[in-house]
Amino acid sequence: MAAMMTFTRLSDEEKYERFMQRIEAGEKIEADDWMPDEYRTALIKLIAMHAVSEIMGALPEKEWVPKAPSLRRKLGIMAKVQDEMGHGQLLLRVAEDLMAPLGKTREDILEDLLNERLKFHNVFHMAAPTWADAGLIGWLVDGAAIMTQTNMLDASYGPYARALKRICAEEVFHAQHGESIILALAEGTKEQKEMLQEALNRWWEALLMFFGPPTADTTGTSKQDITIKYRIRTKTNEQLRQDFFTKYVPRIWALGLKIPDETMHFDKEKGQWIYRQPDWERFKEIIRNNGPKSQERLELRRTAYKQNAWVREALGAVRTAG
């Protein structure tokens, strides 16, 4: 107890030691608690990227709101797009509180996105040319996202863990929404089945990339060691990719779909899935905003940001007047 009362007088090394003891004991760190700079920086990068990916991730799906094949499908995909924007709102709040001591706000995050200093997830740089792509995003892209997000439900940073709890609860709806579209197409006409297979062919490499490279050797940097050290997540990129295969590959095969990788199989002796690596050079290009839809979608964001500036200004004026 006496030691606690002198907390503010502890040296940085002692604070660090106490911080590590706390997270190793499973305690949650809150925004105003002392934390090492490396922890704060890793969280800001991770959560800001997660936040803008939710917002950018709504774009390929929103393209299908006007073109959904029935009113019920339109309502379903609209609800999902709204959820993604809602997740963005939650995560921006978490990132903002971490950035506050650095004098930064939500504006900085959005401007970093629009000025291409902040990356967004590789999958959201890809085109969604058919209704099967919309279904596949809900089924497999959200499936991959569920893998990475559930892995962080026990994150040492309390606000992020709480945001993820809300997000994962909604992901259950997203997963079944995607499955419903996929099952309808898989049980549909020959054209529908072909459309589904083509969508899978288009998305397979992006899905493998989703979990990131297995080691830092591939792309030069990797946050996985730091995030594991600080108990933000527990599994490596490769473990998550393997888990994804375990949950989804049998279902893909069960629907009669072909995975565009003839080497794909489960090696029982090794206890792991054998697969062909995606082109990690291409991955680097995509996340540098040189993917097929990167610039078009960023431009859409920039336009929306500019066109809606008057709303933010008007609301600000109301408050000043009041």
Partner 1 sequence: MAGKEQGFYQVFEVFSRKAPDAPMQHQFSLLAPNEEIALVMAQENFMRREPVSDLWVVRRDYIRRINEEEKAALKRLDNKDYRLTRGYGDVKKRWRKYEQEAFDEKEILSWKGEIQR
Among 42, 147, 163, 195, binds partner 1 (CB under 8 A): 163
β pairing state of 265-267 and 272-274:
antiparallel
Give the C-alpha separation, 216 to 193, whole Å.
Answer: 38
Considering the rule CB under 8 A, would residue 172 count as an interface residue with partner 1?
no
Least gap, CB of 48 to partner 1 (angstroms): 15
Considering the rule CB under 8 A, would residue 101 count as an interface residue with partner 1?
no
Of 281-310, which residues contact partner 1 (CB under 8 A)?
Answer: 309
Among 2, 11, 32, 267, binds partner 1 (CB under 8 A): 32
Q: Is 214 helix (H, G, I), strand (E, B) or coil?
A: coil
Of 34-63, which residues contact partner 1 (CB under 8 A)?
Answer: 34
Pick the stretch among 117-125, 143-151, 221-229, 311-319 that binds partner 1 (CB under 8 A). Answer: 311-319
Give the C-alpha separation, 209 to 77, whole Å.
Answer: 25
Give the C-alpha separation, 54 to 59, whole Å.
Answer: 9
Give the C-alpha separation, 58 to 239, whole Å.
Answer: 27
Q: Are 294 and 125 in contact (CB under 8 A)?
A: yes
Nearer to partner 1, 70 or 320 (CB): 320
Q: Are 126 and 60 in contact (CB under 8 A)?
A: yes
Pick the stretch among 48-56, 57-65, 89-97, 259-267 that binds partner 1 (CB under 8 A). Answer: 89-97
Pick the stretch among 162-170, 203-211, 212-220, 226-234 that binds partner 1 (CB under 8 A). Answer: 162-170
- Helix H or strand E encompassing 273: strand 272-274
Helical H segments across 6-70, by residue range: 12-24, 37-62
Identity at 41, one-letter amino acid code: T
Least gap, CB of 154 to partner 1 (angstroms): 18
Q: Given the rule CB under 8 A, which residues bind partner 1? A: 1, 4-5, 7-8, 30, 32-34, 79, 82-83, 86, 89-90, 92-93, 96-97, 105-107, 111, 162-163, 166, 170, 309, 312-313, 315-316, 318-320, 322
